[in-house]
Structure 1
């Protein structure tokens, strides 16, 4: 296996022309890999091809669209034809079409098999030569060195793939699983072959190579690709690695790595020539989930209160196009994520914002959050947007173009049934709102550690019953006046049957079907989008 180069090699050419007319030197280094991430079509493969062309003599390329099946488990050509095949393959990999096309894929796996067998034979010859020359210490040192194929066996076990491969006397490579019978490596699973081929390319590369690996996860499970690559990086400290990937946990797992975030690119005559990108340096002081969000995001990030399968995310993706949206469990989690991104100068190109549920936040709390870039909904929660009376009425009209029915009758039934559902839960809803108000008041009056250290004593008294009676009177008044707009906006109506009765009155089969219809309405109607945007306070203006 290759070792560190004794003579210093010239640096790799990594200047990248940018779409703004300037250029950027990509920070490649043997000290840590460089990861390249970005959405499909942004230009990642074009960037990898550009690096390969610039460093043609010393670069090794593993394409994203590589073929993993093998025609044989032996060397399919003579030594002379192997040299010619290597030359042809390298030249073909420099063509513009190599971004998406692989030439002569069967020969590529044959080259890797040949290189693995050659490396094993070369090591054996070197050991024999050392013994014949009386260099016993050198022979012993060479004997301790694992050939690439045995190293691959160790890597596969360390990556959770329980197979071992050996070279047979007839120069074929066979595999065994857990001491079972031997079988051709051509019969390995897709993932096993992919792991063998990637590791084979890396471990047989010439010393000091620039190794370009495009989408290693294409044929590998996420649980395998990360440990495999991390081990390969450690086995080849003499080489420089650039890895293009959609597996965002990869750069997060490699603490010293830099990450290139490709935003877009320009193609002229089928050749990518300019890129719009950012570089994320290692060691930024943010947690792993937030770092992974940054790696997978656009330049504008929106952290929202909720879960990945909640109603918030799909609606906000419509209302805030071109913005990457990431759910967080609580208001505090949203605040922490936004603050950590905004406070990190190394990622100044990221604009981070947050949305939290109203949940009866106090005016002081909302002002404090807005100063940090976190905005509260003008309504209790996102359900109040989906079931906003204006939207319910428009959905009823749309529904009646599909089924027989009178939208006005649907609406009358929806509000009658909603008021009945709220009335039967009025005391509990009033108590829930009181609970939050009491918690907020206590929280505001709590002394901080400085006041406690200074000897200040605080006695907090809250008249919860007064709050409760006032809240109950407010809700009862709205029920009597049939003010469904205010009820939906202020209370956690999802804790009652209110949403279900609306969906039933409009003759939808389920809430999810109704909510999908709402999102379709929002996509179609710019006026509705503007109306909903008004519920986010100063967020739309801040993001603009």
Structure 2
């Protein structure tokens, strides 16, 4: 920690591998990047800049230990944990295989870690006894009971495993339920429990004001435990800075206030690093996308929606990200493209046509946001090409099936014309309202706002367009205007199948046997 108690100092290599000092506002930093990007070697590089200041816990760690811990003095146990032995303090040679395996040597120091914890507790208890004796000798009040390292360990354990307890007795550790009826040796604990014991003991034994580098904090731990464990450990050691090295997006995203460093590239000698900037994208999503090597395509819908499945099948070379509604797609494309310093991949988007005008759609296209030529993504399976291809697969007459569906859709559109035009009018007015800007010294009244919106003109354009589509029997235009998600799930019977399964069956074929044929047909209905 620096002289300014709210800041923590650490360092990174620049493009020439020269040590550059950084300051963190909180006591955690996350280094993240894909597998093979040199993250672990970066952790070793940081440690090698100051062996005395840094304690690194390798991703290669043995979580087995002796049932009865071999006891040592605190000084000896601490040196074993921190240096690998008191005679190797200068460069931690023995701890990392004499320097030949900084990132691959298996750490098998669990016994030493537990011995250091026990020795530290004994030292703290002895110090308390000495203070009490001194207080008694000069007739003053005894000092309050201290919180020992073991007390802190139990607090951390309770945070992570509230249904189980841990205790130390003589030179052994035990776990048990609240009733104590099932006490068992800590050596018989699960991998997750032993990992928590190991990591907590490591952190509690580290000398004051150190940098703790934690390589792959997720190893042996269930995701539900990680956030609780590391939050508790960071709180228990506010004097230390934790540097996490991980490829786990979820773990990184829990550290919202931390510096997050993206490892862009490593050529075997030098790293290309970028500090993750503030972005309108959720941090978890931005980190996830940075680990991706495909072009990014933001679409509407959710993870389980038709949108994700359809666009993933249509654009297999893209990383498809469902983003909810139309506006969020637009915002995500803009936000991701503003982070171009982190990647060389440009994002694009596809939105439903909804009630947007041609002018609005063309303006979005210039920003890399394209639209369906049908109103809803499900309407793709009502197009002539899709109906004819799917008719053949379902054993139906292609021309007859399309003719029946065209008649049905057109008649249903005519019956709902008033509702559809009303919704389009509302959408048009909203679009105009969203584009109104107000200067600092301007105050708009209700009348002033109304004067800026030519509702009559919007209404005329909407009515003319919808009426023209009906009069011309323009099926493609009708599909482009007809906003009704239930439409595609009401035509299955024309193919001789259940209405409810038509869209799912069509998507399955798009993902499988008919991928090439259907993809070629459906891509024509996406603006480009």
Which residue of structure 1 aligns with residue 448 of structure 2? Answer: 454
Q: Residue 307 and residue 321 in structure 1: after superposition, are their counterparts in 2 closer, same or farther (change >3 A)?
A: same
Q: Report which stretch shifted further, 457-466 or 308-317.
A: 457-466
1:426 aligns with 2:410: yes
Aligned runs of 1:472-511 on 2, under 5 Å?
A: 472-475=470-473, 478=475, 495-497=487-489, 500=492
* Whole-angstrom distance in 2 between the partners of 1:245 and 1:54: 21
8 Å contact kept, 1:191–1:219: yes
| RMSD of Structure 2 on Structure 1 (CA) | 4.5
* Whole-angstrom distance in 1 between the partners of 2:110 and 2:480: 63
Q: Residue 292 and residue 142 in structure 1: after superposition, are their counterparts in 2 closer, same or farther (change >3 A)?
A: farther
Q: Residue 228 and residue 81 in structure 1: after superposition, are their counterparts in 2 closer, same or farther (change >3 A)?
A: closer
Q: Residue 123 and residue 78 in structure 1: after superposition, are their counterparts in 2 closer, same or farther (change >3 A)?
A: closer
SS at match of 1:64: coil
Which residue of structure 1 aligns with residue 264 of structure 2? Answer: 263
Q: Residue 392 and residue 521 in structure 1: after superposition, are their counterparts in 2 closer, same or farther (change >3 A)?
A: farther
* Whole-angstrom distance in 2 between the partners of 1:72 and 1:219: 19
SS at match of 1:420: helix
Which residue of structure 1 aligns with residue 424 of structure 2? Answer: 440
SS at match of 2:280: coil
Which residue of structure 2 aligns with residue 175 of structure 1? Answer: 175
* Whole-angstrom distance in 1 between the partners of 2:351 and 2:393: 35
Give how far 1:311 is off.
3.8
8 Å contact kept, 1:503–1:511: no
8 Å contact kept, 1:13–1:55: no
Which residue of structure 2 aligns with residue 292 of structure 1? Answer: 284
Give how far 1:305 is off.
0.8
Q: Residue 94 and residue 12 in structure 1: after superposition, are their counterparts in 2 closer, same or farther (change >3 A)?
A: farther
Q: Residue 359 and residue 165 in structure 1: after superposition, are their counterparts in 2 closer, same or farther (change >3 A)?
A: same
Which residue of structure 1 aligns with residue 301 of structure 2? Answer: 306
* Whole-angstrom distance in 1 between the partners of 2:209 and 2:176: 33
* Whole-angstrom distance in 1 between the partners of 2:522 and 2:354: 18
1:510-541 deviation per Cα after TM superposition (whole angstroms, max 9, x unaligned): 86565355345798x6x997886665545xxx
Which residue of structure 2 aligns with residue 120 of structure 1? Answer: 121
8 Å contact kept, 2:298–2:349: yes
Please give the TM-score of this superposition, normalised by the length of structure 1: 0.73
Match of 2:97 among 92, 107, 123: 92
Q: Residue 377 and residue 164 in structure 1: after superposition, are their counterparts in 2 closer, same or farther (change >3 A)?
A: same
Q: How many residues align?
A: 492
1:72 aligns with 2:72: no
Aligned runs of 1:356-367 on 2, under 5 Å?
A: 356-367=351-362
SS at match of 1:42: coil
1:411-441 deviation per Cα after TM superposition (whole angstroms, max 9, x unaligned): 8624533443453343334456764544333
Q: Residue 212 and residue 83 in structure 1: after superposition, are their counterparts in 2 closer, same or farther (change >3 A)?
A: closer
Q: Residue 277 and residue 177 in structure 1: after superposition, are their counterparts in 2 closer, same or farther (change >3 A)?
A: same
* Whole-angstrom distance in 2 between the partners of 1:223 and 1:503: 47
Which residue of structure 2 aligns with residue 190 of structure 1? Answer: 191
Which residue of structure 1 aligns with residue 36 of structure 2? Answer: 41
8 Å contact kept, 2:372–2:527: yes
8 Å contact kept, 1:376–1:536: yes
Q: Residue 143 and residue 208 in structure 1: after superposition, are their counterparts in 2 closer, same or farther (change >3 A)?
A: same
* Whole-angstrom distance in 2 between the partners of 1:24 and 1:4: 17
Q: Residue 365 and residue 489 in structure 1: after superposition, are their counterparts in 2 closer, same or farther (change >3 A)?
A: closer
Q: Residue 241 and residue 383 in structure 1: after superposition, are their counterparts in 2 closer, same or farther (change >3 A)?
A: same
Give how far 1:326 is off.
2.3
SS at match of 1:329: coil
1:212-260 deviation per Cα after TM superposition (whole angstroms, max 9, x unaligned): 1123233333332113212222222221211123443444443431111
1:150-179 deviation per Cα after TM superposition (whole angstroms, max 9, x unaligned): 2122123234533332221x2212223224
1:275 aligns with 2:271: yes
Please give the TM-score of this superposition, normalised by the length of structure 2: 0.75
Q: Residue 167 and residue 160 in structure 1: after superposition, are their counterparts in 2 closer, same or farther (change >3 A)?
A: closer
Q: Residue 414 and residue 76 in structure 1: after superposition, are their counterparts in 2 closer, same or farther (change >3 A)?
A: farther
Gap regions ≥5 residues in structure 1? 268-272, 397-406, 479-484, 539-544
Which residue of structure 2 aligns with residue 163 of structure 1? Answer: 164
SS at match of 2:350: strand
* Whole-angstrom distance in 1 between the partners of 2:228 and 2:338: 32
Q: Residue 443 and residue 390 in structure 1: after superposition, are their counterparts in 2 closer, same or farther (change >3 A)?
A: closer
8 Å contact kept, 2:405–2:491: no
Which residue of structure 2 aligns with residue 226 of structure 1? Answer: 227
Gap regions ≥5 residues in structure 2? 86-92, 437-443
